[in-house]
Chain A
Amino acid sequence: MASSTPASVPAEVIAAVTEPAGGGAGARRTRRLVAAGLGFVLAVAIVALAAPWISPQDPTRQSLRGRLAAPTLQGADGRAHVLGTDHLGRDVLSRVIWGARVSLLVGFAAVVVGGLIGATLGILAGYRGGWLDSAIMTLADAQLAFPFILLAIGIIAVLGPSFPTLILVIGLSGWMSYARVLRSQVLVLRSREFVDAIHALGGSAGRIVARHILPNVMSSLVVIATLELARSIVLEATLSFLGLGVQPPTPSWGGMVQEGREYLDSAWWISTYPGLVLMLTSLVVSRTGDWLRDLLDPTLRGE
């Protein structure tokens, strides 16, 4: 659930909401925390990438005889099921591992898509100014002021659930933050003479973007991307839970929670483990984003 505060609310107010708890720590401590957080993300990414090798079993392999088995080292099919099996006898641990793949794939892709769309729109708005700027910024505020999930399900309903649609929709849900940052950076630069100077010397817009805009916004972009990654992962899981995201039998954390709903009282592990992993990932990634922001660019508190 992203913060969706319109621009009118003063920055001090927003800063207070997102202020890290427990008081401000020293930069060194924050750096260590960031390292730990990034390490976690890396670990999950490695697990996801290495899924075909480290997953104990094929996540879609059914074993009706061993269905709904509690975590055990000796299952009905002779194999260990450390996190139990689901209603079709599939190994929950394997599905959680492969589910990480889906979550990270969709999450990263959506972040890239959102970033590209947002950066482009933001640069356009800052560069061209005038009515285009107002239009884009009004669009951004309008979208912020709206529970996007409704639009998302509406779009997916008509277009049908598929990976590209999912990535596009999730990416579209978060372009605003990038746009705002890029736009302000462009505005800052525009007010300086050297842009005119570069123009005078024959430099292209692309060059300006690459050499002068991007390096300055890089740290802000990293912060935003991290926070957006957490949000995208949760949004994908939510859509999959509703049946509008990743389709079975492809394992996804949200989908697994949905599958386990019917067996909550008897085989609670089917829903609980993927949900806990999801919660942990979301927590760590978003906190890492917070710490990165403290470290790199506290002015971003408005996001």
Chain B
Amino acid sequence: MRALVGFLGPRLFRALVALWLVSTVVFVVMRLSGDPVPLLVPPDAPRSEYERVAKDLGLDRPLPVQYAVFIGNVLRGDFGRSIHFRQPAWRVVMGYLPATAELALAAFGLALLVAVPVGLLSAVKRNSPIDHVTMGVALIGQSAPTFFLGILFILLFSLKANWFPTSGRGGWEHLVLPALTLGAFAMASIARLTRSAVLEVLRQDYVRTARAKGVPELAVVVKHTLKNAALPVVTITALQFGTLLGGAVVTETVFAWPGIGRLAIQSIYNRDYPVVQCTVFLSALVFIIVNFVVEVIYGFLDPRVRPR
């Protein structure tokens, strides 16, 4: 038990610090440009609205008090009223969250579905043409900028080949290209990792023993690698899920996917700062929660830390 607490304690602390850090940066940046009130109300708002918001933010009080008020608001989920949508910012952001969740899960699922078997295959057929080709593609997937990947996919698979729609959210056919774009980096990373992990396992003695006993290659691979490679693969894979959120901003913009990434960008163009604040914070929250959960799971799986 002590090991578990010792493991989780600092990680929880780090998660909270990250959240605090994000809120503080938001607070500082908003104040940097002078009076934040004009950023938070529509320009045709009556004087009374200005004053109400100013009072809510505690602008007549000293800066540390303002900061406390701000943090208090954040903890309550109060990010102000969206100028563009004329609703509480929190509600607006929540409305767009499902679309991003759908995209992220699809990207993630696709990445796993393709990467794990491909990695496995590459490892088993080590140094063959298949191996070289797939690893080459993986390299490109890891270093290609997401936005250009999306543009290329649209050009090749939507405009030229006419297999998929160019943008928007709808049936499954609308999901394919965006999921592929968003998941490309994760797919490439997981494929490479799987390959390495499997290679590592294949090197082990017990594998050679099994081979000597005449057990077929595939059975060897499946039985032993899946058990031993699972841990690192699962960990890295789950961590990639968090990274997807950053890539979502770009992917959603390229494909006009109505999720919170696109919302964040549109809100910036619209100068709708309540929504910008809220999306930044919410994304950080989701990301940090996912990471934390992964670390907890890892803690349970890693025999060094597992509670007895």
Please state if A13 and B143 are interface contacts (CB–CB under 8 Å): no
Q: Which of B122-153 contact A (CB under 8 A)?
A: 126-127, 131-132, 135-136, 138-140, 142-148, 151-152
* A22-B139 CB under 8 A given contacts A146-B22, A275-B151: no
- B contact face: mostly helix, strand, loop, or mixed: helix
Q: Check A150–B243 contact: CB distance below 8 A.
A: no
Residues of chain A contacted by B243 (CB below 8 angstroms): 1, 4, 147
Q: At the interface, yes or no: B218 with Cβ under 8 Å from chain A?
A: no
Which listed residue (A143, A146, A242) contacts B265, Cβ 8 A? A242
- Using CB atoms, name the residue of chain B closest to A153: B268
Contacts of A8 in B (CB 8 A): 11, 295, 298
Check B143 against A242 for contact (C-beta < 8 Å): no
Do A151 and B33 touch across chains, with their CB atoms under 8 A apart? no
Residues of A within 8 A of B17 (CB): 138-139, 142
Q: Which of B139, B235, B273 interacts with A158 by CB under 8 Å? A: B273
Q: Which B residues are in CB contact (< 8 Å) with A13?
A: 193, 231-232, 235-236
* Chain B residue at minimal CB-CB distance from A5: B239
**Minimal beta-carbon separation of B298 from chain A (angstroms):** 7
Is A218 on the interface with B (CB-CB < 8 A)?
A: no
Distance (Å) between the CB of B154 and the closest chain A CB? 6
If the complex has contacts A147-B245, A283-B143, are A257 and B269 also in contact, measured as CB distance less than 8 A? no
**Residue of B131, B132, B280, B288 with highest tally of chain A CB at under 10 A:** B280
Known: A238-B147, A278-B145. A9 touches B236 (CB 8 A): yes
CB–CB A257/B148 < 8 A: yes
B151:A271 contact, CB within 8 angstroms? yes
Chain B residues, Cβ within 8 Å of A141: 14, 18
- How far is A142 from B253 in the complex, measured between Cα atoms in Å? 26
- Say which size band chain B's interface belongs to: 35 or more
Residues in A whose Cβ lies below 8 Å from that of B152: 272, 275
Asked if B29 CB lies within 8 Å of chain A CBs, one says yes
Contacts A145-B242, A265-B159, A279-B148 given; indicate if A151 touches B22 (C-beta within 8 A): yes
Q: Is A287 an interface residue (CB 8 A)?
A: yes
Q: A9-B298, A17-B193, A287-B139 are in contact. Are A244 and B268 (CB under 8 A)?
A: yes
Interface size in chain A (residues, C-beta < 8 A): 58
Q: Mark B16-38, 1 if CB is under 8 A from A, else 0.
A: 01100110011001101100000
Residues of A within 8 A of B276 (CB): 154, 157
Contact B21 A139 (CB under 8 A): yes
The reply to whether the CB of B259 lies closer than 8 angstroms to some CB of chain A is no
CA distance in complex: A21, B137 (Å): 11
How far, in whole Å, are A194 and B226 apart by their CA atoms in the complex? 50
B66 within 8 A of A: no
Cβ contact of B18, chosen from A17, A142, A230, A244, cutoff 8 A: A142
Q: Which of A12, A22, A278 is within 8 Å of B232, CB to CB? A: A12
Residue A226 interfacial (CB < 8 Å): no
Nearest CB in chain A: distance from B103 CB, A:
14
A-B contact list, 18 entries, CB within 8 Å: A1-B185, A9-B298, A13-B235, A13-B236, A14-B236, A17-B196, A22-B135, A142-B14, A143-B21, A145-B15, A146-B18, A147-B242, A149-B250, A150-B249, A158-B29, A234-B145, A238-B146, A286-B142
**Knowing that A22-B127, A142-B14, A254-B147 are A-B contacts, what are 9 other residue pairs whose CB atoms are under 8 Å apart, sorted by A's residue number?**
A13-B231, A16-B197, A143-B21, A150-B283, A154-B25, A158-B33, A234-B145, A254-B145, A257-B151
